[in-house]
Amino acid sequence: MKAAAFEHVDAADVQDALRLLASAAGRAKLMAGGQSLGPMLNLRLSRPQSVVDLSKLAALTSVQVQGQDLLLGARLTHAAIEDGRHPALAAHPMRQVAAGIAYRAIRNKGTLGGSLAHADPAADWVVALVAMGAAVCLQSPRGERERPLEGFMQAAYTTELADDELITAVRVPAMTDGRWGYYKFCRKPGEFADASAAVCRVGPAAPWRLVLGALDGPPLLLSAFAQELGEPGAASLTLSRLRNAVAAALPERDPIDHQLHAVCLARALAQAGWPALAA
């Protein structure tokens, strides 16, 4: 199948992109790397009147250090993050996540902002960055706003982005003193995950955040269970304990899903420094 006809327009800058979006009154789509929008257009799941191409917007590829945070431009590619091209990303755990996304050809084009806006429940960034407590920076003709990523994704392929709004940047913790783990199950390397889990503590005084992903909707934060677990080594950790916590959080899912997510969580916890599971 081929895409239905649409007008392709290169945005000159963010203001131009916002003007083009506003004038299309909901009938335009932004395109960043085109790695998700391209297939949607070809399958005619998306039939916009115009496509506003962001690829000329170099300003959206910057990396800024702001105190304990990094402000990552929405158009940073997965490959740029994987390669740690900016010094602030050189030792950042996002590199590990980026390296596991699809194949290098897709990582060369696919972007951070595009992935978060597309909101595929099985995508890597939506899960990993909720665990980090990231936020998205949005801009529209009404001004700028910053929203926690937790809650930004409302359902599969649905976010709180308005039709005339774009993601300019993503705020993530610098993770200079953080602990971290991420694990996903894929049938083949490069495929979307069947189950995933991320574990993060951004600094020694911060709470642990445990997140399950690749669900039917947004990632799920296991806040009460994270509190119950306490610090690594504080409580004995068994796979059956993790499976019970997953089953309680996802009662609608079948036992195979519970097991897959529990194993993802166990492996993410081990990466974050939890002692090996008791038998």
Ligand X SMILES: Cc1cc2nc3c(=O)[nH]c(=O)nc-3n(C[C@H](O)[C@H](O)[C@H](O)COP(=O)(O)OP(=O)(O)OC[C@H]3O[C@@H](n4cnc5c(N)ncnc54)[C@H](O)[C@@H]3O)c2cc1C
Tell me the two tokens of residue 141: 């003709």
Rounded least distance, CB 52 to ligand X, Å: 8
Please report where in the chains the tokens 């642990």 appear, as a residue: 208
Of 31-39, 61-69, 81-89, 229-237: span binding ligand X (CB under 6 A)? 31-39
Which one of residues 34, 93, 213, 218 is an interface residue with ligand X (CB under 6 A)? 34
Task: Kindly tell me which of 73 and 226 has the beta carbon lying closer to ligand X.
Answer: 73
Which one of residues 115, 218, 221, 262 is an interface residue with ligand X (CB under 6 A)? 115
Q: Cα-atom radius of gyration of the chain, to the nearest Å?
A: 19
Of 27-35, 140-148, 215-223, 230-238: span binding ligand X (CB under 6 A)? 27-35
Q: Dihedral (C-alpha) 166, 168, 155, 32: value to the nearest 10 degrees?
A: 70
Position with the least CB separation from ligand X: 110
Which one of residues 9, 192, 244, 271 is an interface residue with ligand X (CB under 6 A)? 192
Of 105-113, 147-155, 215-223, 228-236: span binding ligand X (CB under 6 A)? 105-113
Residue pair 233/275 in contact by the 8 Å Cβ criterion: yes
Cα distance between residue 7 and residue 137, in whole Å: 27
Rounded least distance, CB 69 to ligand X, Å: 19
Q: With binding defined as CB under 6 A, does residue 166 bind ligand X?
A: yes
Q: With binding defined as CB under 6 A, does residue 257 bind ligand X?
A: no
Size of interface with ligand X, in residues (CB under 6 A): 30
Q: With binding defined as CB under 6 A, does residue 179 bind ligand X?
A: no
Rounded least distance, CB 247 to ligand X, Å: 26
Q: With binding defined as CB under 6 A, does residue 272 bind ligand X?
A: no
Tell me the two tokens of residue 201: 């503590």
* DSSP string across 187-244: SSTTSPPSEEEEEEESSTTSPPEEEEESSSSS-EE-HHHHHHH-STTTS--BHHHHHH
Cα distance between residue 254 and residue 252, in whole Å: 7
Rounded least distance, CB 262 to ligand X, Å: 21
Which one of residues 20, 36, 170, 220 is an interface residue with ligand X (CB under 6 A)? 36
User: Of the candidates 189, 193, 30, 170, which has an alpha carbon nearest to the alpha carbon of residue 123?
Assistant: 193
Please report where in the chains the tokens 């089953």 appear, as a residue: 247
152, amino acid identity: F
